[in-house]
Structure 1
């Protein structure tokens, strides 16, 4: 039975398939083809089959993987692995693969950075102010008020001070791109400024990472690259520097005596940002290693199968060679047997004659 009103095909996500769909809405200008930078970043990192959505204003990306736990949407980004229908247009984006690829590590990183932000599910603390970031989440920040010079001094003397200083000086070593380094520095600035966007922008402009790109408009809503980077950094920050007297005294002690950090049972908030980012890096590295091991296991299986095939082929050739050699040496063997029999007979008669 057919439905005469059907005018296309689609894909239904179920629990029986390994496909995850990434739906990017309102990120493409259908007339000019211009794409928001976040959407472009997601498409490039997933590097799997991608097509333009039916409306022409977004994209559908299909990958092979497992959707991480937690929320599955934020703003114009949605992730699905079951109970969802994607209309298939076949209008594939150029320079993207023509088939669905496994991208588990990239999926987890994108889910963490764009959807499951670290700031959610956090209760406001004392002396904190709450500000609305978008229509789906809120972020909390403490009432921090440090002068720029004082802030920089504290940041450079903190436990993760060497990292802050490298980024501050424009050193991007250890990061895959300048954008990732920008984001890392902004997350640190968000921690020390309490999420003060104006102070974060002022400080970033003094850093060695500042580029002309910072003030370029890269988003459909008119946001510049710098504004969006600061916004995302604040959303991704769950812990902030706490200037309350109790924590301030502990902070000062740890800044002057770094070695005492390990014995202090009341670890200050300033270390949490470092630990959170370290855990993120370790999680990403574990995912990369798991993917590498998976690929190596697949390669080992392929090599083992190839060894079995070669062994079988070698055995067959050996058997065939034995048969050919037997045919060639058959007459010689008979003659040898005859010669041996004659020799024994001669020895026998020689013995009797004696």
Structure 2
């Protein structure tokens, strides 16, 4: 890693931001180009592997070496860091609103950024799932089990984590169907479910640490990809994955930051970095990390890994993201009201 990206792009934010280098390889001399990817909390392993694959592709394509750095955290906090001056070239987030805010509050990207790449600029997607302890002693099978008196859960804070917002909205979507739109019953269900949360970590990886290393809670609520990765990495643990039949469509939006790539001189590199996510080779790598992908060939190869589900889009649950944010997650909104004791 060179000093240029750390000094030039972090500036005054360096002291407060969790910043981890994910260099494609350890170069003997400075790379020809550098790139900074601001990403969500639990994407470290995925982009560590992807960065190496892309660097090899870029070297073969252009003859140039590239040093790719990563900044990870709750996606909302990551977006705020960019607005405050972090000169990331690209973002790979887990919620549309955390990209929208880069236009709305920073004018760093155009309003129509979702139209610049396929699938509304979401190269892969996932849903929410449960990780339970060996033998599933509480027999947790669906969202309604999370509202039982004997169940304690771990959930990232929906105020700071797209991961947490997705879980909240998935539970809301389940309740809307289960209680046929009865607002009083829906609110009581969510109030009980939220009351059973033992720890609200700021991001998804913090929640995983609380559940795995601290041993707190009966169930971890996080992305399907994360729970499957945990089981794969801890085969001796006995952890089990439970995927509810009805859940939320979790998109993973990406974009280059126009103002930053112009200043950094990385526009072509940044666009290629994101476009490569849609290639068959990259989609296969992404599916290997248990994310659902759009490429039909790769989908067929990994079909046995991903059960058929009813994935509810934001439009079906809350109308749109703007409404969801203002009604549920704004200060004094529904989330705050339901969490009051």
Q: TM-score, normalised by structure 1?
A: 0.22
Larger radius of gyration: 1
The two structures have a TM-score, normalised by structure 2, of 0.23
